Amino acid sequence: MAQKTALIVYAHQSPASFNAAARDVALQELKLQGYEVVVSDLYAMNFKASATRDDIIGDVRNSEHFRYGEETLHAGMEGRLSEDIVAEQRKVTEAELIIFQFPLYWFSFPAIMKGWIDRVLSQGFAFSLEKMYDNGIFKDKKAMMSFTTGATPTMFQPDGINGDINVTLWPLQNGILHFCGFQVLAPQIFWSPAHCPPAGRAAMLEGWRTRLKGLLAENPLTFAPCELFDLSFQGGFSLRPEVKEELATQPLGISTGHHLGKPLPPDNQTRAPATEEDEQGCGKKARASIRTV
């Protein structure tokens, strides 16, 4: 039997950080479960964040108007991407589980991790127009974000000063991970560890260790499946009319992003649904479709 592999994409400058401790807990626990764990320590690697012409070996197709996505698509097909990109893509290909471990910077990834995403998850390797979302290339892989915040949980509530954390997470989890087809596990959020006493930080890490023991058995987050949409340019890649008609009677939208002018389904980006009641924002047919994803 082939050995299971997990990849931790890690971004923090200090080995003494809480993020480093969270990384180490995941490393230790996954190894105990029989995983080979690979860590991409982006700062230690001095990973290049900017997506540039240097990512392509040899000539480009259009030197007068350089289009990064188009050029890397063809370069990837021809084996002409830079060595650092190829090395990271190999890690992604071999991994069954990917954990992104980072501090939340400006409501998003640190720049070096965003650069990893821009360069490594390239068109053709991670997605195509034919293979995206629940039909995506990585539909047999699981991915999740584990991150620290400077803010408290109340600051990221719907009535908090930062707004609903589900809104913050939507473009990261849906627009990147789910877009590439990953089964997205609920995020591990470490709320404001810098302002917690040592006992509080230790409890956070122990909670993470406990979760890791059953992580692979968790249900992934729910996203609207592609079958609900007219996937054509004529249809505008919009919800099919009969789906809209059914959802019109529901009190909530499908998801944080597809809220359809209704109240957002609570915890849509932070907690996987366990029961039909948790999916009350969708109609019966839509719920049935989502459960098959």
- The string of DSSP codes covering 88-141 is HHHHHHH-SEEEEEEE-BTTB--HHHHHHHHHHS-BTTTB-SSS-GGGSTTTT-
- My answer on whether 85 and 101 are in the same domain is yes
Q: Are residues 28 and 157 in the same domain?
A: yes
Number of residues that this document lists for the chain: 293
Angle at 37 between CA 101 and CA 39, to 5 degrees: 45
- Residue where a domain terminates, one of 170, 187, 217: 217
- What pLDDT shows up at residue 48? 97
Q: Which domain holds residue 240?
A: 222-293
Per-position b or e across 103-128, b if 16+ CB within 10 A of its CB = bbeebebbebbbbbbbbbbbbbbbbe
Amino acid at 224: A
- For 218, counting Cβ atoms within 10 Å of its Cβ (0-12 exposed, 13-18 middle, 19+ buried), the class is middle
Cβ proximity of 142 and 97 under 8 Å: yes
SS3 222: coil
Beta bridge partners of 210: none
User: Is residue 66 domain-shared with residue 177, that is, in the same domain?
Assistant: yes
pLDDT given at position 236: 85
Give pLDDT, residue 287: 40
SS3 265: coil
Q: What CATH code is carried by the domain that includes residue 51?
A: 3.40.50.360
Please report, in tens digits, the pLDDT of each residue of the chain (293 residues total): 578 999 999 999 999 999 999 999 999 999 999 999 999 999 999 999 999 999 999 999 998 999 999 999 999 999 999 999 999 999 999 999 999 999 999 999 999 999 999 999 999 999 998 899 999 999 999 999 999 999 999 999 999 999 999 999 999 999 999 999 999 999 999 999 999 999 999 999 999 999 999 999 999 999 999 999 988 888 888 999 999 888 888 999 899 999 988 999 999 999 998 754 444 444 444 443 333 22
Both 281 and 162 in one domain: the answer is no
> Are 136 and 273 in the same domain?
no
255 in the same domain as 208: no
In DSSP notation, 57-69 reads: -S--S-SSS--HH
Backbone angles phi, psi at 200, to 5 degrees: -65, -40
| Contact in structure between 122 and 30 (CB atoms under 8 Å) | no
Q: Of 194, 217, 240, which residue constitutes the final position of a domain?
A: 217
Does 115 lie in the same domain as 23? yes
Residues 177 and 255 in one domain: no
Q: Is 77 in the same domain as 211? A: yes
Indicate whether 176 and 37 sit together in one domain. Answer: yes
Task: Clarify whether residues 170 and 100 are in a common domain.
Answer: yes
Distance of alpha carbon 36 from alpha carbon 30, whole angstroms: 8
Tell which of 178, 197, 217 closes a domain: 217
User: Residue 1: what pLDDT?
Assistant: 59
Count up the domains in the chain and report the number. Answer: 2
